[in-house]
């Protein structure tokens, strides 16, 4: 009895090997006439007959297989292919483990004109190699009305630019760079700007006269002069750091020192910079005959009547010193501490040590790209020493997934679902594509694992 069971299992093993070879080649399984007298029974049975002719021992084993165990039924073949596809996907998931990965989805039509969405994932394996794996396809249904409703309800973002949702873009979020040069130029030519606007006010029309005079009132106010000089001082401290961080060849050690120096300068200005700033502001106000408010008097906002000033509990000194200067400085210090916190500083320090170490190692001299660098870090075990750099490198590799993998899927789809095989169901096509495209993964899976999965899918007359 045990010998008979072993023969049955061996027969199934032979047939499973034949089926997996068909999967790797993307060939069809069945023929139009699989009868005994047929001249072409289909690729599967023809290959079985060829093996029987080549090796009599194989012929004896296959001839002893019971009819129920001879896997020619379409449902049995589909179950075997589905088992292979599931094991391939499981192997890919195990290869990713808990690491990061990127999902790429693209749309194309098959031979029958049916829209399909191909799903490809990209990740870096344990050897530091970039892998792009096909997971499956999903049929695309008519979803235009559903998307229109979701867009109308605001559940789908449609913005194509930066910060277009509900806020105005900040200078740091765009390509404008620092405003230090602008405010410095404005301070340098301030006198000329006033003279030009005064001349324009004399020669302009009645409609433009009001706008010109209003602009002159703003430019010749104490508030404007104070804000201008405050911005010049603060941006002067942060400009060196801003320019340095935008350089592609920035020395990391210099960047770390600039961050520390900028924080110290801003803190020093908060502690002892008020007297120097207010003296400069008063000097320029006296030079251009601008009224300087009494710092001990209550602060009046804008053009409010003076009768409201007596009700204010905030003096001009408190407003300009605490509400303006200290608030801006505290905001700058908070932003620097948030952007260059302990983790970011640790990353910069790790990058600095990494660059110095790699520059001295000849093994890293002839690398051609980031993928080679990632693999070399794993090979030299430096991925453990510079773990933060290695994680950052994996993110860069994963996010830059190419569309070539998706195009490869669409090419395979046209090969598997050809003109002669154009009535394949969605799940059958998905399983065939997974086994055909990821045939290198299929090679690593033992047939016993596939047959065990196949056995668990449903009850069988013969138990393995």
Q: Is 177 within 8 Å of 225 (Cβ atoms)?
A: no
Mean pLDDT confidence for 352-371: 83
Cα–Cα distance for residue pair 98/65, rounded to 1 Å = 44
Counted residue by residue, the chain has a size of 464
Look at residue 303 and tell me whether its pLDDT is greater than 60.
no
Which is more confidently placed, 307 or 414?
A: 414
Which is more confidently placed, 396 or 4?
A: 396
Reported as a pLDDT band with limits 50, 70 and 90, residue 54 is low
For residue 453, give every residue at least 6 positions away whose Cβ sits within 8 Å of its Cβ, in sequence order, or none: 83, 86, 87
For residue 428, give every residue at least 6 positions away whose Cβ sits within 8 Å of its Cβ, in sequence order, or none: 78, 81
* pLDDT score recorded for residue 113: 64
Domain ranges of the chain: 2-93+424-457, 179-350
> Both ends of the chain: CA-CA distance in Å?
13
Which is more confidently placed, 163 or 422?
A: 422
User: 101 forms bridges with which residues in the sheet?
Assistant: 123
Radius of gyration, CA atoms only, the chain: 37
Q: 0.75 exceeded by the pTM?
A: no
Q: What are the tens digits of pLDDT across the range 168-225?
A: 334 444 344 457 788 888 888 888 888 887 877 776 666 677 777 888 888 888 999 9
Cα–Cα distance for residue pair 173/166, rounded to 1 Å = 14
* pLDDT score recorded for residue 175: 42
Q: Is 81 within 8 Å of 23 (Cβ atoms)?
A: yes
């Amino acid at each position: 009895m045990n010998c008979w069971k072993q023969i049955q299992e061996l027969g199934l093993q032979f047939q499973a090997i034949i089926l997996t070879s068909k999967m790797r080649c993307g060939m069809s399984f069945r023929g139009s006439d699989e009868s005994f007298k047929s001249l072409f029974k289909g690729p599967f049975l023809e290959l079985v007959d060829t093996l029987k002719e080549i090796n009599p021992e194989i012929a004896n084993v296959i001839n002893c297989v019971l009819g129920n165990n001879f896997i020619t039924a379409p449902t049995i073949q589909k179950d075997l292919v589905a088992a292979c596809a599931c094991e391939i996907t499981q192997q890919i998931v195990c290869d990713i483990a808990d690491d990061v990965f990127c999902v790429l989805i693209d749309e194309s039509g098959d031979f029958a004109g049916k829209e399909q969405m191909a799903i490809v994932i990209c990740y870096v394996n344990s050897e530091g190699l970039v892998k792009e794996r096909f997971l499956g396809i999903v049929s695309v249904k008519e979803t235009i009305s559903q998307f229109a409703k979701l867009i109308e309800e605001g559940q789908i973002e449609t913005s194509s630019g930066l910060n277009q949702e509900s806020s105005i873009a900040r200078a740091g979020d765009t390509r404008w760079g620092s405003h230090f040069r602008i405010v410095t130029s404005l301070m340098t030519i301030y006198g000329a700007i006033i003279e030009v606007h005064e001349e324009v006010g004399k020669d302009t029309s009645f409609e433009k006269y009001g706008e010109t005079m209003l602009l002159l009132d703003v430019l010749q106010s104490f508030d404007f002069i104070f804000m201008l000089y405050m911005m010049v001082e603060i941006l002067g401290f942060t400009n060196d750091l801003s320019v340095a961080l935008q350089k592609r060849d920035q020395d990391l050690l210099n960047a770390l020192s600039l961050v520390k120096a900028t924080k110290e300068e801003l803190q020093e200005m908060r502690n002892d910079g008020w007297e120097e700033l207010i003296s400069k502001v008063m000097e320029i106000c006296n030079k251009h005959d601008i009224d300087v408010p009494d710092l001990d008097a209550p602060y009046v906002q804008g053009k409010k009547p003076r009768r409201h000033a007596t009700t204010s509990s905030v003096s001009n000194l408190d407003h300009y010193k605490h509400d303006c200067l200290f608030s801006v400085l505290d905001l700058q210090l908070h932003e620097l501490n948030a952007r260059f916190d302990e983790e970011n500083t640790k990353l910069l320090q790790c990058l600095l040590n990494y660059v110095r170490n790699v520059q001295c190692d000849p093994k890293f001299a002839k690398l051609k790209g980031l993928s080679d660098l990632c693999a070399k870090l794993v090979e030299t075990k430096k991925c453990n020493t510079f773990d933060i750099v290695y994680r950052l490198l994996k993110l860069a590799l994963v996010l830059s997934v190419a569309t070539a993998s998706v195009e490869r899927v669409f090419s395979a789809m046209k090969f598997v679902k050809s003109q002669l095989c154009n009535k394949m169901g969605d799940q059958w096509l998905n399983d065939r594509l997974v086994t055909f495209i990821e045939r290198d993964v299929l090679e690593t899976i033992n047939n016993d694992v596939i047959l065990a999965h196949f056995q668990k899918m449903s009850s069988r007359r013969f138990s393995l």
